[in-house]
Amino acid sequence: MSVEPRCIATAIGSLPHSTAEAAIKVVLTNIPDAPIWPQLPALGMNEQMEPQYSEGIPRLVIDREKERMYFDTTGDYSGDLGSFYEDYLAENFDKFAISPAFSKGFYAMEAALEASLKETGKKRPFVKVQVTGPISFGLDIVDEKKRAIYYNEEFMDVLVKDLAMKCRWQIRRYSKFADTVICFIDEPILSAFGSSTYVSVQRADVVAKINEVVEAIHAEGAIAGVHCCGNTEWSILVDADVDIINFDAFDYADTIALYAGPIKKHLEAGKTLAWGVVPTNAAKLEGLTVDALVTKFNQGVDNLAKASGLSRDVIVRQAFVSPSCGTGSLPVPVAEKAFSLLHDLSTKLRA
């Protein structure tokens, strides 16, 4: 799907607020054309990055006393996996839902968007949902022997399919609110791809697993983005058929130009980059102005244009702007400053 967001602002999922209503006010005020539902890690373990998407995954155990989550792969689990695949093949979407206990922000934003649609009769250009990516989930969460579940082929297949179905469930719930639904696959661990820690993780496998989730998103008529808040091999995401590549354009803007060939292919196919030009670091935000962010964005665009041979016009027309990462770990006033800067940046660039 070809889109031209022309520097519309969107964001990564997490906010630091203790109520969904406060977070939603920040979102709808500052990124009204591509709002997100807020993930609220301050509310506890259920809204942390992986637990939030854990419901319904067979043999996934949440140990609340130790505040950890792991897969129990002991004994005969064939029945558990069999039931899962029956629901998957039958497309029983309710079995892949995220309940209010695990996402107050999802339901509160749904209600706010419903009220807005009734009041105005107008859809928004975009609305964004999100899921933790299969690579990050699979390498972060371990089995009972503390081995990353990524290396267990049976359970990793279940995990990928569960996350794909959670994407589809979200898109179906939010599709009536916007012309286009965006679903981000959050893959922070890709910044460590190729390191000695993950030397056994194969590029082709990463591409295949992300692509399976991307295809599920496309099956619902939505567009798929991947967020990585550090440097990575960006051509992986081009090969995975991602529509939006979201990267930290404050600290790593130059890295995207190192993959000028694949990125040129990506943009010439009508796909987009989401420039995470607003930092999510309190020290970097202090004293930062919107003019400085405009300069930072333009420097990144100029660098990519020079490296790829693409015109500035193409790059800017096919750009979103966003924070460099989620704001969930920031103090509330600092996070709100980041969103305010994002709003002003988008407004200035679009003007």
199 pLDDT band, cuts 50/70/90, is confident
pLDDT for the residue 249:
97
The model's pLDDT over 332-346, given as tens digits with 9 standing for 90+, comes to: 999 999 999 999 999
pLDDT higher than threshold 90 for residue 101: yes
Q: What is the pTM of this model?
A: 0.96
Tell me the mean pLDDT in the region 309-334: 97
Closest to 229 measured CA to CA, from 268, 190, 178, 202: 190
Mean predicted confidence (pLDDT) in 107-122:
98
Q: Provide the pairing of β-strand 124-132 with 178-186.
A: parallel
pLDDT exceeds 90 at position 198: no
- Is residue 197 over pLDDT 90? no
pLDDT score for 194: 73
DSSP 8-state secondary structure symbol assigned to residue 304 = H
What average pLDDT does the chain have?
96
Mean local confidence (pLDDT), 138-143: 97
Q: Tell me the residue ranges of DSSP E strands in 138-239.
A: 142-143, 178-186, 223-228
Does 196 score more than 90 pLDDT?
Answer: no
Q: Span 201-221, mean pLDDT? A: 97
The full set of domains in the chain, from first to last, is 8-350 (3.20.20.210)
Q: Roughly what angle, to the nearest 10 degrees, separates helices 153-174 and 104-120?
A: 30
- Please give the share of the chain, as a percent, with pLDDT higher than 90: 95
DSSP string, 115-136: HHHHHH---EEEEEEEEE-HHH
Q: What is the pLDDT of residue 256?
A: 95
pLDDT of 250 over the 80 cut:
yes
What is each CA distance from 43 to 17, 55, 103, 331, in whole angstroms?
8, 17, 9, 14
pLDDT > 90? residue 107 = yes
pLDDT of residue 195: 73
Which neighbouring-strand residues pair with 278? 323
